[in-house]
Amino acid sequence: MAPFYQPSLLEDKVIITKVVNLYRKLVKPSDENEAPQATTPATISEASKVPDSPSNGSDDQQTAIEKSRQQCKDIPNAIARDHHNISRKKLSKNALKVLYRLQDEGYEAYLVGGCIRDILMGLTPKDFDVATNATPEQIKACFKNCRLIGRRFRLAHIVFGRELIEVATFRGHHQQTDNPATGGKKQLSAQSDEGQLLRDNVYGSIEEDAQRRDFTINALYYSVNGFYIRDFAGGIDAIKAKRIELIGDPQARYREDPVRMLRAIRFATKLNMTIEEKTEAPIYELGNLLSNIPPARLFEESMKLTLAGKALDNYMMMRKYDLFRHMFPVPYEVLDEDPDSKQEQLIRQVFINTDKRINANKGVTPAYIHAALLWYVVEKETQMQIETNGLSAYDASYVAMTEVLSRHCRAISLPKRFSTVSRDIWQLQHRLDRRMGKRAFKLMEHPKFRAGYDFLLLRGDIEGGKIAELAHWWTQFQDADDAGKQQMANDLNGSSNRGSSTGKYRNKNTTDDPNRNTSNNTNERRRGPRKNNRNRRKASNTATSNTTNSTATPPSESGQ
């Protein structure tokens, strides 16, 4: 006789899930004002989901506080609900869904890092990160909208429309090779000769994960189950003291990940904090380690440094700690110690203008910033091409732009969608001086005219002289009506032909000599384009010999 069929535990759970969901729909309708719940059935007790906001009633608030106090008695380094200002009303609904789903599946899950720090400081978090003891594969099994990324750090991205919740597994110490949480499988960790972590997929407990975090202010974990915060490294005290300090030995931690030096600067300017002395000291001598960071990651860090409303402060601190020359080696070539040099003034002014636009909620493109950083490098390279290779100004400029962008992208992987715009801005600096006839009207139809004009204004403020006069002319030209624009263009045509006996259509090659051989003159004019073509071919060959595939898309920009 065949044995009686016995359902597995998984099948039992699925059946219970369906029954509970049906019961909730029929008996307990959803309330829009209720705190966000998990989309899967709750296996955690209803007491753990008691609303923790005063707006839900004083009784519920008191219950949440009492529950938090009871749980904190048995948890080390825990701060109860009545000792912090974090409420679920301040958290992302999608982040709460992730926390509840992981807890429903039997895993630990905490909100961690910058989102907790920002709420404690009265700021609005830009994103929410989750830490859990579930492995990336287990996380993916819980969410259909999950994708796993990263090789150096294996992470799970859970996508809710335009919002992304990043979930990371608790990190462990590198000495570990086996872990019961991974089924006894060997975990991967690798370091370079300089101590940089090349791979860090070693999993551990929440206590080990806290020790692996970079700064004390980021080692804060919030539990939605008991509404408490776990502070393993004195992060609350560091926030009160407005102090940036690394966890562990600063030398070793910077060598593990040199980007932490840039993060220390960014946190100090963003949060108005000071860098602790022990954390600050190694930065001066370890800046060269930034050259080991992949260019694509450095570009992402440059975006955070320049597009957060603190670009000027970040630049000044990078110059102070001598990190700018390691992160931006190409722009650094034309900088010196003179704070009044035009190169230094241009960079500072573009960061001042960027901060103003960011703080006014106006758009800023990285292409404009990088065009300003590299402008004087392009000018220097152009002059060198003219003197060394005998190229025309146009051909030398083309070669210089290609050469400078190629070298810059090897340090910071500037995507092609930005490098192309930077090149347009540079080219417009030469074209804006050619305003006669219909050229001025056609230039205003250029897609990047406004960016090129703004950069011309910036140069005029710094350099003055003819550049300032040209920028002023373009300002008046844009403000004038159609008749005024036509008159300004006619005035340029008249001034260019003033003193000519034959008017504005006079051929510049004609003379008053009646014995001049016009046929030879025609041949000379015909040889002009051929000579230009030879120069362009020469420029192309020069660019190819000076750079590796300089006329093609740099390797770091491919696929963008």
Residues assigned a catalytic role: 127, 129, 214
Do residues 260 and 282 lie in contact, with contact meaning Cβ atoms separated by under 8 Å?
Answer: no
One-character DSSP codes across 371-406: HHHHHHHHHHHHHHHHHHH---HHHHHHHHHHHHHH
One-character DSSP codes across 127-195: --EEEESS-HHHHHHH-TTEEEE-SSS-EEEEEETTEEEEEEEPB--TT----GGGTTPPPEEEE-TTS
Do residues 158 and 167 lie in contact, with contact meaning Cβ atoms separated by under 8 Å?
Answer: yes
Number of CB atoms found within 10 A of residue 476's CB = 11
Q: What angle do CA 262, 263, 267 make, to 5 degrees?
A: 125
Alpha-carbon distance 320 to 307, whole Å? 20
Alpha-carbon distance 380 to 378, whole Å? 5
The token pair that represents 383 in the structure block: 């002059």
Distances (CA, A) of 61 to 57, 70, 82, 229, 528: 6, 14, 10, 17, 85
Q: Phi and psi for 479 in degrees, rounded to 5?
A: -80, -20
Residues 6+ apart with CB under 8 A from 215: 238, 244, 245, 246, 247, 263, 264, 267
Q: What angle do CA 390, 395, 399 make, to 5 degrees?
A: 95
Rg (the chain; Cα; Å): 32
